Amino acid sequence: MSAKETIGDYYADTAYTPAKRQQWEAANPERDTIIGSRLSWNRRTQDNGMEEDYDFSHIQISEKEEKRCIDSGVKNGDIYRLLKMCYDNQAIMPPNYTALAKYMHVGMALSMGFFFLFSIGFCLIVLIGFYHWLIGGNDFEYFLSLLLESAKFSFPIITAALIFWKGGGYLKKKRPEVFLGMRKGPLWQANRQTGLFTIYDPRNAWETRLEAPFWEFDAFLQSSPDTQGSANYSLILYHPFQRIRQKLDAQFPPTKMPGELVAAWQFLQRYMDVSQPLPDVPGLEIHRHKDPTTAAADQQQGRDPRYWRDMDEASVKKIQEEKYRKNIRLR
């Protein structure tokens, strides 16, 4: 069997290619819209992603999820129901966390912020007091009193913040079932193999609210003010004829940098485009050989199958930072 026949047998007739979107746009020039900035579709999809997509931790996470799939013995689509999430060569279905899990994530972020804020504040107070003592403005007893009072106030907060921040990170890594609670059903699924984008009913687990070809959706950036009044952007897919929208926050978190979500939109288009290989990101590397288009492209280009996994964390971090600097300039 030729590579072309293998690819044809693997993907459904509804699998996405940019040509299908172009034909659909030509046939539907006038369609409903929503408030926000409509993003364009690429005629040739771009190998790009958000800063988060290039995180070093995704290598370990993907390997752990792959092991769970193998150990479960469940195959095909049933594995999605078992794990309640998916991020591989077939589909992206982000976890649908409970409110408690979301609060835990926010708590970890706040704890990290408090840790650095009070640590820096304590150091500044000590340095200022030490400077005044050196130039003779205050005696040593005053400096010592300032040091003890600052420590008495700051250290309990610093210690509690550090415990919650690092303890939460440890639980997330070692016991995700304790730290991360997921609802019974998912929010949405983007299936590369079928080319379908599915929106689930949030009130009825696994009940489909809308399932349609990926190319029938329009992508929008919508902004809303945060607690400080600054604009926070979200990526949304909207079906103009069914008039149903879906926020993609669970996979592509809201951000103040709209360019990051333009990169997320490029990532999703590339992921769904079966005429091109999967996005070359750390979390998808262990699945590249399972996708016919990707496997053929990697073989032709001589790509190292362990390109990301054999890279040290500092090197991955450097690539991640370079991607972010490029992304924030996207419009």
Q: What is the pLDDT of residues 186-237, one digit of tens each?
A: 899 999 999 999 999 988 888 999 999 999 999 999 998 876 778 899 999 9
Instruction: Answer whether 168's CB lies under 8 Å from 82's CB.
Output: no
Q: What is the pLDDT of residue 43?
A: 92
Using the CB atoms, write b or e for 51-80: b if 16+ within 10 Å.
bbbbbbebbebbeebeeeeeeeeeeeeebb
CB 233, CB 252: distance < 8 Å: no
Whole-angstrom CA distances from 126 to 131, 149, 156, 159, 292 are 8, 10, 17, 18, 61
pLDDT of amino acid 182: 60
The per-residue pLDDT for 299 is 97
CA distance 140 to 123: 17
**What CA–CA distance (Å, rounded) separates 267 from 284?**
12
As averages over each run of 10 residues, the pLDDT of the chain (331 residues) reads 58 97 95 94 95 91 79 63 79 79 72 85 81 70 77 85 80 60 80 98 91 98 83 96 96 94 98 98 96 97 96 95 92 78
Is the separation of the CB atoms in 191 and 291 below 8 Å?
no
Say what the pLDDT of residue 294 is.
98
- How many whole angstroms separate alpha carbon 142 and alpha carbon 283? 55
Neighbouring-strand partners of residue 223: 233
CA gap 96, 115 in Å, rounded:
29
- Own/partner long-range contacts of 157-163 (Cβ < 8 Å, ≥24 apart): 157/114, 157/118, 158/114, 158/115, 158/118, 158/119, 158/122, 160/111, 161/111, 161/112, 161/114, 161/115, 161/118, 162/111, 162/115
pLDDT of residue 132: 72
pLDDT score, position 1? 37
What per-residue confidence (pLDDT) applies to 80? 58
- Distance CA(165)–CA(152), nearest Å, equals 21
pLDDT value at residue 17: 98
* Length, in residues, of the chain: 331
Position 153 scores a pLDDT of: 82
What is the rounded CA–CA span in Å between residue 186 and residue 79?
13
Tokens of 56: 């070093």
Output Rg (C-alpha) for the chain, integer angstroms: 24
Residue 6: the pLDDT is 57
pTM of the entire structure? Answer: 0.76
- In this predicted model, what pLDDT tens digit does every residue of 30-44 receive, in sequence order? 999 999 999 999 999
Query: 109-148 as b/e, with b when 16 or more CB fall inside 10 Å?
Result: eebbebbeebbeebeebbeebeeebeeeebeeeebeebbe
Measure CA 2 to chain center. Answer: 36
Give 198's strand partners.
189, 211
Rounded to whole angstroms, the Cα distance separating 230 from 226 reads 6
For every residue of 219-244, DSSP letters joined together read EEEEEEE-TTS-EEEEEEEEETTTTE
